[in-house]
């Protein structure tokens, strides 16, 4: 059976499953809609959190990124997992004991202020919205490559599916579909990884294969990582396992901003409101990271295998003999080759082959049938452009795996994108319908009205996300730095201080949040959109890492302002001491 | 807060800080700061610093959360604040 037929079967089956789950877990009350009724078992919440967290970027892009960056890619591996330790130790149990519905809920109640609630609300929506646009785009790309439908049609199908199960089931529907989506995505990630590990390293466990010897070809018997170090150095790259030129301080700051940002992302935090107890919150954070770690420790192995495979199969080989996957991806414009020295052989070296993303001259092909690139060429001897995003998607083809495996990867990519999108959409919907509409505008709203507003908001949020998925603004890649930087510099410090320092008051929290956000946003905007240059960086810290400094500013300002103004009211201090002990954590309560 | 609860909280914060030190050592220490010297040591096919950055730190993170869970289970019971 062809890849296309298999893909239709896999995607059809998994989508039917999601719809079926959504139908049986549809809800009628706001508690079910916002926090799944508060009765999700820790193991299920761990799986749902893992699916919620691992997006199209984790599934599709991360291994590709590491493949090209080598050791330097570790910032993503550590940054996107280390945050869960902070979450489990500093936030999750206490927020669960507090037991409301959203992050702005905690901020607004703990700091007895609607201003604080509003600032938190705006941040939550902004962070989630920037994130969700990328997910919709991911859905579109998977559809267009594997089901041969236009990207836009793919985005529309994705929108319809998400709207159906998020609108119908709210958090409850999302939770149980995420459990299913985790199963699909992890299977889809592991099967090709195991196959390739067997092929290259002769062991079914990719984490061990990464440190094993190569089984076939000219490097037989040498350690894979040694071979990669050698290949990279020969072709002019930094050795695979060694740190590059990036300053140590910058690497520190980026990793820290990613960790703290992860712990401060609202769609991850709210998952811990859905479990029945504080004990369950602590435990499910462990399960969540365990399930995430299965993918995150496989990814560097996939990255190394892909790097080896790619260099081994195409570098210094004649274009005429290039494998079929090479030409398939060339058609999509994600691979491009310019024969700079007219020898008909693909030379892959360090450096960019030409300026920018490939733009092809329509309808014209070169003497060997290759597409002709219209971009301005560079002086680098490199002739090959490979988009980093294709490494995971193309890997099964590169390794000649059976068609059903390739189809499974497509279904897995969709599961990763859809599960994250739905979690984010719920944050947007609950922020507006609960925090803004119910808490700040209409305190008398009935259960039914609030549920309706929640569903309408999901609808609107899906449409906005879909619009940006179809017409991606040029700055999507840039805004991801924004999402983490803002989450790190806004929520994290004031939630931590709100729990660990009873003295922190309203004035401190508002000033701290504003100082953190304004500093971080201004820095990112200046360097990403207003043409700031590298030599102007503060202490050599890149915009990706500046959230760390924003976070420190937030901590300091909150602390200083709090100690200069009057202490919080007695009932707030009692609230703080009550969230420090687990007993009495009822189900998440309405208020 | 009663004396008992203060003690409970202090024990919690102390243990948590201890775990966070380990968290920082494996990631920022072994994975970033000392990656070059550690890479000189090889365990099988893995340069050690590289292994910490792409594998080891993540395994340790997972363990830290489960250890904290187990410790707090015990502490909650000891101070009679469990659910």
What is the extent of the structural domain holding B37? 3-78
Q: How confident is the model at residue A151 (pLDDT cuts 50, 70, 90)?
A: confident
**Which residues fall within 8 angstroms of residue A533, CB to CB, at 6 or more apart?**
none
- Residue A355 has a CB neighbour count (10 Å cut-off) of 9
| Residues 292-311 (A) with a CB less than 8 A from some CB of B | 293, 296-297, 300
ipTM: 0.96
pLDDT of residue A478: 59
CB A42 within 8 A of CB A284: yes
Q: Are strands A384-386 and A335-337 parallel, antiparallel or unpaired?
A: antiparallel
> What would the pLDDT profile of A328-359 be if each residue is shown by its tens digit?
888 877 888 998 888 888 999 998 999 888 88
Contacts with A500 from chain B: Cβ below 8 Å: 13
pLDDT of residue A590: 45
As a whole number, mean pLDDT of residues B22-50 equals 94
Tokens for A363?
């309808």
Quick check: A225 and B62 CB within 8 A? no
Contacts with A580 from chain B: Cβ below 8 Å: 5, 9, 12
pLDDT of residue A110: 93
Quick check: B82 and A84 CB within 8 A? no
Higher local confidence (pLDDT), A473 or A151 = A151
Q: Which of A193, A204, A195, A186 is nearest to A411 (CA)?
A: A186
Q: Which residue of B has its CA nearest to A222?
A: B45
Give 3-state DSSP helix, strand, coil % of chain B, rounded to 5.
80, 5, 15
Instruction: Please report whether residue B12 resides in a domain.
Output: yes
Q: How confident is the model at residue A203 (pLDDT cuts 50, 70, 90)?
A: very high
Distance of alpha carbon A120 from alpha carbon A546, whole angstroms: 20
Q: What stretch(es) of chain A map to CATH 1.20.1730.10?
A: 3-309+401-579
| Residues 235-274 (A) with a CB less than 8 A from some CB of B | 241-243, 248, 251-252, 255-256
The C-alpha of B68 sits at a distance from chain A's nearest C-alpha, in angstroms, of 7
Distance of alpha carbon A338 from alpha carbon A372, whole angstroms: 7
Quick check: A85 and B64 CB within 8 A? yes
When scoring A46, A66, A78 by the number of chain B Cβ atoms within 10 A, the one with the most, hence best to mutate, is A78
CB A547 within 8 A of CB B46: no
pLDDT of residue A475: 55
As a whole number, mean pLDDT of residues A142-155 equals 78
When scoring A45, A88, A91 by the number of chain B Cβ atoms within 10 A, the one with the most, hence best to mutate, is A88
Q: How confident is the model at residue A24 (pLDDT cuts 50, 70, 90)?
A: confident
Q: Are strands A384-386 and B46-47 parallel, antiparallel or unpaired?
A: unpaired
Quick check: A581 and B46 CB within 8 A? no
pLDDT of residue A519: 94
CB A396 within 8 A of CB A409: yes
Distance of alpha carbon A358 from alpha carbon A344, whole angstroms: 19
How distant, in Å, are the alpha carbons of A102, A411, A511 from that of A169? 17, 22, 38
**Which CATH topology does A3-309+401-579 take?**
Sodium/glucose cotransporter (1.20.1730)
How distant, in Å, are the alpha carbons of A211, A461, B22, B34, B35 from that of B29? 22, 42, 9, 6, 8
In chain B, % of residues over pLDDT 90: 84
Say how many domains are in chain B: 1
When scoring A43, A94, A241, A294 by the number of chain B Cβ atoms within 10 A, the one with the most, hence best to mutate, is A241
Average pLDDT over chain A, rounded to whole? 88
Across A97-111, A125-139, A391-405, A461-475, the highest mean pLDDT is recorded for: A97-111
**Which residues fall within 8 angstroms of residue A117, CB to CB, at 6 or more apart?**
A104, A105, A107, A108, A435, A439, A440
The C-alpha of B44 sits at a distance from chain A's nearest C-alpha, in angstroms, of 6
Contacts with B53 from chain A: Cβ below 8 Å: 71, 74, 77-78
Contacts with A226 from chain B: Cβ below 8 Å: 45
Residue A591 predicted with pLDDT over 50: no
Instruction: Please report whether residue B83 resides in a domain.
Output: no
The C-alpha of B74 sits at a distance from chain A's nearest C-alpha, in angstroms, of 11
Give the gyration radius of chain B's Cα atoms: 17
Instruction: Please report whether residue B48 resides in a domain.
Output: yes
Q: Shortest CB distance from B9 goes to which of A252, A285, A580?
A: A580
As a whole number, mean pLDDT of residues A442-467 equals 87
Tokens for A443?
């305190």
pLDDT of residue B40: 93
pLDDT of residue A479: 65
């Amino acid at each position: 059976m062809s890849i296309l037929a298999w893909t239709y079967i896999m995607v059809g089956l998994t989508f039917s499953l999601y719809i079926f789950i959504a139908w049986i877990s549809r809800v009628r009350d706001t508690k079910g809609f916002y926090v799944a009724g508060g009765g999700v078992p820790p193991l299920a919440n761990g799986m749902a959190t893992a699916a919620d967290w691992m997006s199209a970027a984790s599934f599709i892009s991360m291994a590709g990124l590491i493949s090209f960056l080598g050791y330097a890619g570790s910032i993503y591996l550590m940054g996107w997992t280390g945050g869960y330790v902070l979450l489990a130790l500093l936030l999750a149990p206490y927020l669960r004991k507090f037991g409301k519905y959203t992050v702005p809920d905690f901020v607004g109640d703990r700091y007895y202020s609607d201003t604080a609630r509003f600032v938190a609300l705006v941040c939550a929506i902004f962070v989630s919205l920037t994130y969700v646009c990328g997910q919709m785009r991911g859905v579109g790309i998977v559809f267009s490559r594997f089901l041969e439908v236009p990207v836009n049609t793919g985005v529309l199908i994705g929108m319809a599916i998400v709207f159906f199960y998020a609108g119908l089931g709210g958090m409850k529907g999302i939770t149980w579909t995420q459990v299913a989506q985790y199963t699909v995505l992890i299977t889809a990630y592991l099967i090709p990884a195991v196959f390739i590990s067997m092929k290259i390293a002769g062991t079914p466990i990719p984490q061990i294969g990464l440190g094993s010897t190569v089984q076939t070809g000219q490097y037989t018997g040498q350690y894979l990582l040694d071979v990669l170090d050698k290949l990279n150095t020969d072709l002019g790259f930094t050795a695979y396992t060694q740190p590059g030129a990036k300053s140590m301080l910058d690497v520190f700051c980026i990793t820290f901003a990613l960790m703290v940002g992860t712990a401060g992302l609202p769609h991850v935090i709210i998952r811990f409101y859905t479990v029945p107890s504080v004990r369950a919150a602590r435990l499910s954070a462990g399960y969540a990271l365990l399930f995430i770690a299965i993918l995150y420790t496989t990814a560097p192995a996939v990255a190394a295998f892909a790097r080896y495979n790619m260099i081994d199969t195409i570098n210094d080989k004649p274009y005429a003999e290039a494998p079929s996957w090479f030409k398939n991806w060339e058609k999509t414009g994600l691979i491009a080759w310019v024969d700079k020295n007219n020898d008909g052989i693909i030379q892959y070296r360090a450096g960019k082959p030409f300026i920018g993303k490939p733009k092809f001259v329509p309808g014209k092909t070169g003497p060997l049938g290759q597409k002709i690139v219209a971009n301005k060429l560079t002086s680098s001897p490199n002739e090959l452009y490979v988009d980093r995003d294709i490494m995971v998607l193309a890997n099964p083809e590169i390794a000649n795996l059976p068609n059903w495996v390739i189809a499974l990867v497509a279904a897995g990519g969709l599961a990763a994108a859809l599960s994250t999108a739905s979690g984010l959409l719920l944050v947007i919907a609950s922020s507006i319908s609960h925090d803004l509409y119910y808490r700040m505008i209409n305190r008398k709203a009935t259960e039914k009205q609030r549920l309706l507003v929640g569903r309408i908001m999901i609808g609107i949020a899906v449409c906005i996300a879909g619009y940006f998925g179809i017409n991606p603004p040029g700055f999507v890649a840039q805004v991801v730095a924004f999402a983490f930087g803002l989450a790190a510099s806004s929520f994290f410090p004031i939630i931590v201080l709100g729990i660990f320092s009873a003295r922190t008051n309203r004035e401190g929290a508002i000033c701290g949040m504003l100082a953190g956000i304004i500093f971080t946003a201004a820095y990112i905007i200046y360097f990403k959109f207003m043409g700031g240059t590298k030599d102007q960086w503060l202490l050599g810290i890149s915009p990706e890492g500046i959230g760390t400094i924003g976070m420190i500013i937030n901590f300091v300002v909150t602390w200083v302002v709090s100690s200069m103004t009057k202490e919080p009211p007695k009932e707030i201090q009692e609230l703080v001491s009550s969230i420090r002990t687990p007993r009495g954590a009822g189900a998440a309560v309405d208020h | 807060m009663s004396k008992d609860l203060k003690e409970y909280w202090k024990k919690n914060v102390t243990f948590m800080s201890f775990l966070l030190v380990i968290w920082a050592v494996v990631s920022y220490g072994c994975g970033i700061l000392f990656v070059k010297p550690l890479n000189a040591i090889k365990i099988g096919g893995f340069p050690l610093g590289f292994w910490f950055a792409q594998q080891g730190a993540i395994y340790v993170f997972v363990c830290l959360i489960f250890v904290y869970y187990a410790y707090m289970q015990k502490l909650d019971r000891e101070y009679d604040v469990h659910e």
